[in-house]
Amino acid sequence: MGHADQNKKAGNGEPNSNAAVQPEGATRCSDQSSDVKVKTVTCSLTGMAPLFTPIKIGGLQLSHRIIMAPLTRCRASPNNVPNTKLSGEYYAQRTTKGGLIVSEATNINPQSVGHFCAPGIWTPEQVDAWKGIVSAIHAKGGFIFLQLWHVGRGSHSAYQPDGRPPVGPSPIAIKGQTSLPDGTEAPFEVPRELTVEEIAALLDDYRKATNNAFLAGFDGVEVHGANGYLIDQFLHDGSNQRTDKYGGSIENRARLLFEVVEAVQKVWIDAAGAGTPKAANVALRLSPFGKYQDMSDTHEAELYGYVIPNLNRFNLAYLHVVEPRVSAGPDAIAVVNNLGKTFSGPLISAGGYRPDDANQTVMDGCKSNPPRAVAVAFGRLFISNPDLPLRIFLRTDLHNYDRSTFYTHEAVGYTDQPFLKDGEIADHIKELREAQPDNEKLQAAIDGEIQMLKVQV
């Protein structure tokens, strides 16, 4: 696969700004003399392509904007304890100095589980196991947020500690089949409706899980409000037909989301110490117009038109948006773009990105009025390219992913993915240098960038 292949997006991508190092005279992320601040965020010119400009996320200064997306890989034990050695190696392989990883979705309590061998964060044993993984990332100068997860009606009685049906906002089942712990498939079940008392207990479990994430050493937490899981099920009227204060109006359906974010943020700030940089590291993931797990709403644009601007009061580290590029048409994409502008903090955009359109998205953010601080999360390409930021920087081939190993429980397809070889790296650095022979500043920037990205290898 040649260089051009880096930029073929799954779906409808058009190749765009091509160089990892921005060529002289090309449009740049912003003007050095007039760095623009959007709240806590500076979007500055370093002479590098947009993805390789630094960005401030919460209390963290990131060295580049290639984020590792949350990726469930089911390599924990059957009782949801992460495998410190195996997953420590997997995450460390994908760590760059000053880069951000969002962990795989992690269950907050036993009831929240719906995937065999997914990790949890509710027992001391799980916290200890995570500590080893987090320290492997920190040892290489990287950062990791934990994604807090409750699957709601996406579970099955076979996963439930009391053997009862899974919980959800309303007794409406997902259509289709799910995988059970014994490897067989079964239809999703009709969930039982969470009571208001149970919702209060659920908020407590989010609090405990958040505190545990802090104890495990995570740099921050991301609330999973996307992809048809519990919080998303409450948001959408296709899955939420309650008549109490958690159902009916958009405000009521968004209540659980805001209560979770508020509860998580309070615990995190108390643990980190109000006013410290780390206290700012609470984030949220949403998937407007996503259809996964039967999400539907009669007024989707209005739903997110209420939710997104109302998040501003939390001063989140970032809002992570799974773009509806695959699941919805151009109207939805335009709506989500516009809604992104109503959020005052940094945005992380995810969904089907290839390097060129990722660079373009970051650049569009910087050039918009007012400028937006944008980073891009890569999922599947990070599975199959452990050194993805270095590959993007050097404009090398990207290795294809193999779906059949996404959720298996072993090292194959997990820690055995190929790194660039030293000789290949040297050749590509030479090519980059030769493209800019007279630009000393850029030559120095290349050296600095390679130092940061090469900790992966």
Q: Which residues participate in catalysis according to the annotation?
A: 229
Which region among 46-54, 125-133, 373-381, 413-421 touches ligand FMN (by CB under 6 A)? 373-381
Nearer to ligand FMN, 98 or 352 (CB): 352
Nearer to ligand FMN, 28 or 399 (CB): 399
For ligand FMN, which residue has the nearest CB? 379
Asked if 258 interacts with ligand FMN (CB under 6 A), we say no
Interactions with ligand FMN, residue window 57-96 (CB under 6 A): 69-72
Nearer to ligand FMN, 30 or 349 (CB): 349
Asked if 378 interacts with ligand FMN (CB under 6 A), we say yes
C-alpha distances (whole Å) from 224 to each of 180, 229, 283, 299, 319 are 22, 8, 9, 21, 11
Which region among 264-272, 332-340, 344-352, 357-365 touches ligand FMN (by CB under 6 A)? 344-352
Nearer to ligand FMN, 72 or 315 (CB): 72
Residue with tokens 């907050």: 108
Asked if 260 interacts with ligand FMN (CB under 6 A), we say no
Per-residue HEC secondary structure of the chain comes to CCHHHHHCCCCCCCCCCCCCECCCCCCCCCCHHHCEEECCEEECCCCECHHHCCEEECCEEECCCEEECCCCCCCCCCCCCCCHHHHHHHHHHCCCCCCEEEEEEEECCHHHCCCCCCCECCCHHHHHHHHHHHHHHHHCCCEEEEEEECCHHHCCHHHCCCCCCCEECCCCCCCCEEECCCCCEEECCCCEECCHHHHHHHHHHHHHHHHHHHHCCCCEEEEEECCCCHHHHHHCCCCCCCCCCCCCCHHHHCHHHHHHHHHHHHHHHHHHCCCCHHHHCEEEEECCCCCCCCCCCCCHHHHHHHHHHHCHHHCCCCEEEECCCCCCCHHHHHHHHHHHCCCCCCEEEECCCCHHHHHHHHHHHHHCCCCCCEEEEECHHHHHCCCHHHHHHHCCCCCCCCHHHCCCCCCCCCCCCCCCCHHHHHHHHHHHHHHCCCCHHHHHHHHHHHHHHHHHC
Please, what is the minimum distance in Å from the beta carbon of residue 381 to ligand FMN? Answer: 6
Which region among 190-198, 361-369, 375-383, 388-396 touches ligand FMN (by CB under 6 A)? 375-383
Which of 380, 409, 433, 454 is close enough to bind ligand FMN by CB under 6 A?
380
Nearer to ligand FMN, 80 or 436 (CB): 80
Please, what is the minimum distance in Å from the beta carbon of residue 443 to ligand FMN? Answer: 31
Contact between 350 and 362 under an 8 Å Cβ cutoff? The reply is: no
Asked if 226 interacts with ligand FMN (CB under 6 A), we say yes
Which of 246, 353, 393, 414 is close enough to bind ligand FMN by CB under 6 A?
353
Please, what is the minimum distance in Å from the beta carbon of residue 383 to ligand FMN? Answer: 7
Closest CA to 215 of 149, 88, 121: 121
Asked if 224 interacts with ligand FMN (CB under 6 A), we say yes
Is the CA virtual torsion 158, 286, 333, 66 positive or negative?
A: negative
Interactions with ligand FMN, residue window 396-425 (CB under 6 A): 406
Contact between 51 and 66 under an 8 Å Cβ cutoff? The reply is: yes
Which of 322, 339, 366, 446 is close enough to bind ligand FMN by CB under 6 A?
322
Please, what is the minimum distance in Å from the beta carbon of residue 354 to ligand FMN? Answer: 9
Which region among 167-175, 212-220, 372-380, 423-431 touches ligand FMN (by CB under 6 A)? 372-380
Nearer to ligand FMN, 16 or 72 (CB): 72
The interface mask with ligand FMN, positions 174-213, x = CB under 6 A, is ----------------------------------------
Please, what is the minimum distance in Å from the beta carbon of residue 389 to ligand FMN? Answer: 14
CA atoms within 13 A on the CB side of 308: 27
Nearer to ligand FMN, 70 or 114 (CB): 70
Query: Residue count at the site for ligand FMN (CB under 6 A)?
Result: 21
The interface mask with ligand FMN, positions 119-148, x = CB under 6 A, is ----------------------------x-
- Kindly give the pairing relationship between strand 36-38 and strand 41-43: antiparallel
Which of 288, 351, 371, 413 is close enough to bind ligand FMN by CB under 6 A?
351
Asked if 105 interacts with ligand FMN (CB under 6 A), we say yes
Binding-site ranges for ligand FMN (CB under 6 A)? 69-72, 104-105, 147, 224, 226-227, 285, 322, 350-353, 378-381, 406
